[in-house]
Structure 1
């Protein structure tokens, strides 16, 4: 189990948040450069949150664009009660928890029992040795761990993502989801138990005694269309500048070797530039409230 982030002196917290309050004040005042800086600060964290919740890059792109626009539309309500990223997560989580089931992956969300049976179906006796074997094994792992998260109910999923993936403290996460710390911790513990039990029984990355191996799932995943050898959705996904790459994430997973490490060992995905440009276009269109 991961430890809680170290507590910060309140005076230090105020000092850290002061530049963010100043940035937001300038953005609310119509400063285009400040608005652009807010978008730059939030675009990748919000995209990564949306990706972990929706399970597919295309759905995450649409969701993160909508969340960013909502964040910008409510900037005048930012009071510095939390870091700007944490405050934006609160808006994002509210949107994602109420999002219609548009994702094909979530619409067909399996139970852990069903997913466990699915992993046994077509499991090869030997590692995949075809073209791009290493890349496709990584893609299979990343795709599979996203699918595992989709087996959790949304409230459990968001609790797990915030604490076990993003390492947000229980107090901050409870504020984000608008729950008491005690209720949040119960939700998180339930999610950890369900996901941990499943991975211990099924996933060879979390438990060497379990049967499934990513390299033995490649052929079946390609056959089912879950992995596209021509366009890997996750293993070749752009990462944020200076962020953790897929290789570095995999090394961390191997080193820690537990359920949280496997689920958390995704690279630091960057928000697709095309969606960022759409937001920039809206900001400079003359139709966005902050710039009126």
Structure 2
């Protein structure tokens, strides 16, 4: 059944259709929350809150835009403004992140391709936490979700001009950082994943047998390295940010929402 049909039925009180709506959108919402928050536990909490907002506000959806556009707007409004979401922000900066990378470099190298990929993806995602939330959201909508400008501006509830400005500033900041600090983008940069991996393992950020970030459908480390070498410098950062996994929801929120709906 098409999503819009499920939405219409759910708006008319069909509980099965409501659960179908949640199942249809929960992966998209979880992927978005992971890219905004990075921490898996924080993302799961945010997804549940967002999905509850979606079903409680479902009657207000008028169909003037695509349903997923509306869902993204509800999601970003929560992630950008809710006190609970704001409290999860680690407050990173590019200068601090760059210093952390430099402090973790040593002469020892680890060349394990699985662990290197776990480090690559987790570092790539954490990098966006150095952007303030407004610019992070613009970057994710424009370059991760690859949503057209008109729809992106609608999702973020800003003008197209403001959206384009935020997107441009966000890209400039991320590109400048990776050019300075990331060996995958600039071979002359001090940091390289093999040199950074020993320190990341020593503090428990990367653990053998754990491939949450670099697992799934994430591109392999060697493949990303080859790809970035072939690209112009301006496209290398974008390639890194897009070469992550699709973060499908590990929890069936449809069942959770169904229980909440049945609760008197």
- Output the TM-score relative to the length of structure 2: 0.88
Change (3 A) 1:24 1:280: same
The runs of 4+ residues in structure 1 deviating greater than 4 Å are none
1:281 paired with 2:259, answer: yes
Change (3 A) 1:250 1:87: farther
Q: 2:159 aligns with which of 175, 180, 200?
A: 180
Question: What SS does the corresponding residue of 1:43 show, helix, strand or coil?
Answer: helix
1:114 paired with 2:96, answer: yes
* Residue number in structure 2 paired with 1:157: 136
* Residue number in structure 1 paired with 2:243: 265
Change (3 A) 1:280 1:251: farther
**Contact 2:120/2:221, CA 8 A, preserved across alignment:** no
1:23 paired with 2:6, answer: yes
**Contact 2:108/2:195, CA 8 A, preserved across alignment:** yes
| Aligned counterparts of 2:173 and 2:204: Cα–Cα separation in 1 | 27
Q: Alpha-carbon deviations, 1:93-134, whole Å to 9, x = none?
A: 00000133443xx33x321112112111121335304xxx22
| Aligned counterparts of 2:150 and 2:93: Cα–Cα separation in 1 | 29
CA RMSD of aligned residues (A): 2.2
Cα deviation for residue 193 of structure 1 reads 0.4
1:56 paired with 2:28, answer: no
* Residue number in structure 1 paired with 2:67: 84
Number of aligned positions between the proteins: 256
| Aligned counterparts of 1:113 and 1:65: Cα–Cα separation in 2 | 33
Change (3 A) 1:180 1:253: farther
- Structure 2 unaligned residues grouped into runs of 5+: none
Q: Which moved more, 1:57-66 or 1:136-145?
A: 136-145
1:193 paired with 2:172, answer: yes
Change (3 A) 1:196 1:80: same
- Output the TM-score relative to the length of structure 1: 0.80
